[in-house]
């Protein structure tokens, strides 16, 4: 199925899952737990979903492959998305960073998790959150960003012609006034937030899961979010960056910009094809191999790594 976030999802088996809950800023958040199915404790991976908030059908096949390699996965629904509490569909990147940090705390309470071997990964906007979360929380031993955003303001601006960006700024300012004077902001279809080369089909998760639409405010909240300004502070912990050269949603230049600003140890993989959904879909096996090799080298606790 072709989606608004990129190419089609490959027929990779979806693993068995368990639903768990934890709290972030007093809100109950849902997580989808994918276990290796062997005796633990296991190293753990926290997955941050993309801007559209469709976690399960996008990432579970990849997380299943990582579970086969021995990693327990926790795919979290950020506040306001899917099965979590919060303002429906609202994406504040700095609140999502706290969601990841609280997920680290939650995993540290589980007997099946190696408490000092937790990493974060994410795709698209979630890839940006993964970078920022690792920069903010030194308990995360490594970060993996797939087709991630380096500068959200630049990315959103470059998706549109100048006149459309100008008109959108006027609309955002009017929405801010409405929220301040009435308490109610505009809600829009995901295609308004993220215009792309593919029409969004009626059965896309962004429409099925969020028929009420998304707050237009999400663009304003994202515009000053620059993970590339944070990435250097992750060192001496390691960063793995994965992109696709033919990505029509988040161009590979965003991944390359993150890499250019990262400190060692860092790793860059750019697949020649795959578009935006490739690492979670058609390229899931290749992506899992890259991630497993990277984590085997960098995730274990080492003296001198804070």
pLDDT in tens, 235-284: 999 999 999 999 999 999 999 999 999 999 999 999 999 999 999 999 99
For residue 245, is it within any domain?
yes
pLDDT at 59: 83
Q: For residue 104, what is the domain's CATH number?
A: 3.40.50.1820
Quick check: is 257 in a domain?
A: yes
Give me the pLDDT at residue 2, please.
30
pLDDT band of residue 60 (cuts 50, 70, 90) is confident
pLDDT at 302 over 50: no
User: What pLDDT, on the 0 to 100 scale, is given for residue 135?
Assistant: 98
The reported pLDDT for the residue numbered 306 is: 42
> Could you give the percent of the chain with pLDDT greater than 70?
92
In a domain, 8, yes or no: no
- Overall pTM surpassing 0.75 (yes/no): yes
pLDDT at 184: 97
Q: Is position 191 within any domain?
A: no
Residue 51 lies in a domain: yes
Rounded-to-integer distance, Cα 66 and Cα 235, Å: 24
77 lies in a domain?
Answer: yes
Tell me whether residue 146 is in a domain. yes
Residue 303 falls inside a structural domain: no
Q: What is the pLDDT of residue 249?
A: 93
- pLDDT for 191 equals 93
Question: So what's the pLDDT on residue 303?
Answer: 37
- What whole-number distance in Å separates Cα of residue 160 and Cα of residue 165? 6
Query: CA 104, CA 118: separation in Å to the nearest integer?
Result: 7
If you average pLDDT over every residue of the chain, what do you get?
91
56: confidence class by pLDDT, cuts 50, 70, 90: low
Which of 10-14, 192-196, 274-278, 280-284 is predicted with the least confidence, judged by mean pLDDT? Answer: 10-14
Range of the domain at 134: 18-151+226-298
Query: Cα(228)–Cα(208) distance, rounded to whole angstroms?
Result: 32
Specify the pLDDT at position 129: 98
Q: How many domains does the chain have?
A: 1
Q: What pLDDT does residue 14 have?
A: 55
Q: Give the lowest-confidence range in 12-21, 127-136, 168-177, 215-224.
A: 12-21
Note whether 229 and 200 are within 8 A (CB).
no
Mean pLDDT, rounded, for 209-222: 96
Mean pLDDT in residue range 23-43: 94
Of residues 233, 255, 234, the one with CA closest to residue 243: 255
pLDDT at 6: 40
């Amino acid at each position: 199925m072709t989606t608004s976030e990129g190419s089609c999802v490959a027929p990779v088996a979806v693993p068995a899952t368990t639903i768990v809950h934890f709290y972030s800023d007093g809100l109950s958040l849902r997580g989808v737990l994918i276990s290796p199915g062997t005796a633990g404790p296991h190293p753990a991976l926290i997955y941050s979903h993309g801007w559209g908030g469709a976690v399960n059908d996008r990432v579970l096949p990849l997380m299943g492959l990582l579970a086969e390699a021995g990693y327990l996965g926790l795919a979290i629904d950020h506040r306001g998305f899917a099965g979590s509490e919060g303002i429906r569909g609202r994406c504040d990147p700095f609140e999502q960073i706290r969601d990841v940090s609280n997920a680290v705390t939650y995993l540290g309470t589980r007997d099946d998790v190696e408490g000092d071997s937790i990493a974060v990964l994410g795709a698209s906007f979630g890839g940006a959150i993964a970078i920022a979360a690792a920069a903010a929380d030194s308990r995360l031993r490594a970060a993996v960003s797939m087709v991630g955003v380096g500068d959200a303001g630049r990315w959103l601006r470059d998706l549109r012609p100048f006149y459309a960006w100008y008109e959108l700024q006027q609309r955002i300012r009017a929405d801010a006034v409405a929220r301040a004077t009435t308490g109610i902001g505009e809600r829009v279809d995901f295609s308004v937030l993220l215009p792309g080369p593919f029409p969004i089909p009626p059965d896309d998760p962004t429409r099925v899961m969020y028929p009420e639409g998304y707050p237009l405010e999400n663009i304003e909240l994202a515009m000053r979010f620059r993970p590339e300004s944070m990435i250097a502070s992750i060192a001496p912990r390691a960063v793995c960056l994965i992109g696709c050269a033919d990505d029509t949603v988040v161009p590979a230049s965003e991944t390359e910009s993150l890499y250019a600003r990262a400190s060692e140890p860092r790793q860059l993989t750019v697949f020649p094809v795959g578009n935006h959904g490739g690492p979670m879909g058609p390229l899931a096996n290749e992506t899992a191999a890259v991630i497993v090799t990277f984590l085997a080298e960098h995730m274990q606790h080492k003296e001198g790594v804070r």
